[in-house]
Amino acid sequence: MAARAVTVLAVLSGCLAVVSAGSPAGGSPAVPGAACSRARFPVTLVGDASAQVSGLLCRPAGDRGRPLQVLLSGATYDSRYWLLPSAPGKPSYVGWMLAHGQPVLAVDRPGTGASGRPAADLLTMTSEADAVHQVVGQLRSGAVPGGRFGRIVLVGHSVGTSVALVEAAAHHDVDGVVASGFLHSYGPRLGTLFGDMHPAADDPRFAGATEPPGYLTTVPGVRAGYFYDAADSSPLVIGVDEATKSTVTTGEESTIPAAADPAVSKAVSVPVLAAVGENDQLFCGGPLSFPCTDSGAIIRNEQSFYSPAAQLEGYVLPGAGHVLNLHDNSTQWFTAANGWLNRHFPA
């Protein structure tokens, strides 16, 4: 099963070499002239002075002065969320951006992928935001191979968006935020998601691994119902998603709601793009939410949670569920994100 997952993942990604079902390696994407390399960032978490954040730093051919996108995945995902396409032959988010001249850093948030495994209670929205702040500082100072980046945009998905908003609100050191897979509302399936998680150590996906106590993942077979819309996604991709799923910690779980405090988003003083799937069951269409029909609906319902400085824009990917990158029409979302970046941060 693990060997098959690796083979399928390699075929799907097209831009990522996979050395095992749990450890993505650096490689060059299938974009002429583009190149990727593994970047490692030493960070300090409260109670753990030896933590490390790993990421895949990818640069397009030539230097067009575009801002660096720092990509932060959601709960039970790692950097592969940004590296997998929605079907063989289609581009991933990383591949699309590189083809359009945009540099990216696909991050394994602390506790995921090739990053360190701190104790579960040390990983909170605040501590992760502080770790991202340290990564941003190293990118701006040129402390890692790849050069010095003068402009940086945080691009989050779901919990990754929560981390991005907390970071931008607390540290004011980035130039923009793309907030995908996140709204200040609650869809019909958000409340049951953590009830369908169990210790990662008990999951077949992590057999033989040493995931620490307090590290959780989704129980087998539930990801399609929470993260996808069946009419706009491939069973093959959902199968790869299950075979390569990551973790979330009890510390993150207990602090995620605090990131939705309007005081956080109101403190973000840079442009924000809020993007969701039309059929996102975690944030849209429930009694405590609103129908995610179009960008106007997003702006009307989210505007009050942001300051005027955010210049809030909205985007809805038609027919998609929670994981925008992995739906059949994902390139529509990539195009919208690229357009927003070009408007706010021209070369």
Q: What is the pLDDT along the chain (347 residues), one digit of tens a residue?
A: 444 444 445 545 443 443 233 333 334 456 888 889 999 999 998 877 678 999 999 999 887 789 999 999 999 999 999 999 998 889 999 999 999 999 999 999 999 999 999 999 999 999 999 999 999 999 999 998 877 999 999 999 999 999 999 999 999 999 999 999 999 999 999 999 999 999 999 999 999 888 999 999 999 999 999 999 999 999 999 999 999 999 999 999 999 999 999 999 999 999 999 999 999 999 999 899 999 999 999 999 999 999 999 999 999 999 999 999 999 999 999 999 999 999 999 98
User: DSSP string of 19-84?
Assistant: EETTEEE----SSTT-EEEEEEEEEEETTEEEEEEEEEEEE-SS---PPEEEEE--TT--THHHH-
Question: Sign (positive/negative) of CA torsion 27, 29, 31, 35?
Answer: negative
Label the pairing between strands 68-72 and 104-108. parallel
Q: What distance in Å separates the CA atoms of residue 75 and residue 248, rounded to the nearest whole number?
A: 5
CB within 8 Å of 297: residues ≥ 6 apart = 290, 291, 314, 316
**Secondary structure class of 146 (helix, strand, coil):** coil
pTM of the model: 0.93
In contact, 279 and 229? CB cutoff 8 Å: yes
Assess contact for 322 and 228: CB atoms under 8 A. Answer: yes
Task: Name the strand (E) or helix (H) holding 316.
Answer: strand 313-317
Spatial distance between the Cα atoms of 35 and 94, rounded to a whole number of angstroms? 11
Inter-residue long-range contacts of 78-81, CB under 8 Å, 24+ positions, other chains counted: 78/24, 78/108, 78/109, 78/112, 78/113, 78/246, 79/24, 79/55, 79/106, 79/107, 79/108, 79/112, 79/113, 80/9, 80/13, 80/16, 80/24, 80/113, 80/244, 81/157, 81/323, 81/325, 81/326
What is the per-residue pLDDT across 285-341, written as a single tens digit (0 to 9) for each? 989 999 999 999 999 999 999 999 999 999 999 999 999 999 999 999 999 999 999
Q: Tell me: the pLDDT tens digits for 28-48?
A: 456 888 889 999 999 998 877
